[in-house]
Structure 1
């Protein structure tokens, strides 16, 4: 059984789905509740609204409100290939307020020549705030692509850089 919660933040509406093992899917902030419903496709999961996610939603609201919170400790229930999971786990090690390149991600995932595949794994990230793919940029410092668009990626990078955890 899965639980879900949709809530409003200062960046927009966010949705999260979790299992008993951890988070399964989330979305970047959307303009409204209905965009979130369409994106997270709760009909694909057997879900119930749950109060269990109330605390997590408060944490996300604080994070997007500019409070210094590291989301990398949140438990995740991964559903993907081992390669993708490997890249995602490495991405979660990028410190709050910092960025790394796709090349760095590939190297630190023990796949040094697979930086394009590292990029692909970031584009398929089911938990974009919790697997912080916005922290992964091009080697030349270019922001690179992002499933939420480059404006959102820049906003998240700036949010963290301005609120670096010491």
Structure 2
């Protein structure tokens, strides 16, 4: 079966977002999630053969994203993420940060130490800057050592909003 790329744009309380995925042999793998500039024209520049699509697994993921943006606790299915094109180090970092609970943060240095790379805070930041699955893999929960917000693919303002939503929800509904 041919490997086809699909795209689905969706509206959230924080703006329009998009997901690119492939389907091959009845398996779905999310390739990228877009927080900004998720218009079909911008997506087609990067993926010229893309098709607009729908899929039950993707619809469930979209509902989970919308729920998380409303402050509900969600356990994302990371098995459907296409991690094979990432370096071993980046996979290790991204999988580790899925364990940071909503409403909590860690610094780049703390993540580096927990992973056994005590001098790799900058490398952690670079791995997170390339996270193709923001929100699903919550790189927004990692901040600078001085607790300043740090960077984010969707912009610092969006990172702040995500952290506020999660903190409020964790105060209202502690785990």
- TM-score, normalising length: structure 1: 0.85
Distance in 2 of aligned mates of 1:137 and 1:40: 32
Partner of 1:98: 104
- The structure 2 residue matched to 1:25, chosen from 32, 48, 60, is 32
Q: What's the secondary structure of 1:22's corresponding residue?
A: strand
CA RMSD, aligned part only? Answer: 2.2
**In the comparison of the two structures, how many residue pairs are matched?**
162
> 51, 59, 79: which is aligned to 2:55?
51
Instruction: Determine helix, strand or coil for the equivalent of 1:162.
Output: helix
1:123 CA displacement: 0.7
Could you say if the C-alpha distance between residues 111 and 42 of structure 1 is closer, same or farther in structure 2, counting changes exceeding 3 Å?
A: same
CA deviation map 1:25-67 (0-9, x unaligned): 1022x3x752x65258562565551223112211211221232
The counterpart of 1:83, out of the listed 69, 80, 89, is 89
Q: How far does the alpha carbon of each residue in 1:91-139 deviate from its partner, in whole angstroms, 9 at most, with x for none?
A: 1111111100000111122212111000001111101111111000011
Unpaired runs of at least 5, structure 1: none
Aligned to 1:119: 125
Q: Note if 1:13 corresponds to 2:19.
A: no
After TM superposition, give the deviation of residue 69 of structure 1 in Å.
2.2
TM-score (norm 2): 0.81
SS in 2 for 1:94: coil
Counterpart-to-counterpart distance in 1, 2:103 and 2:132: 21
Are the counterparts in 2 of residues 26 and 128 from structure 1 also a CA contact under 8 Å? yes
Quote the residue 1:74 is aligned against.
78
Give SS of 2:47's match: helix
Rg: which structure is higher? 2
Long gaps (5+) in structure 2: none
Instruction: Please give the alpha-carbon distance, in whole angstroms, between the structure 2 residues aligned to 1:54 and 1:100.
Output: 30
50-59 or 108-117, larger mean C-alpha shift:
50-59
Q: How far apart, in 2, do the equivalents of 1:116 and 1:142 lie?
A: 15
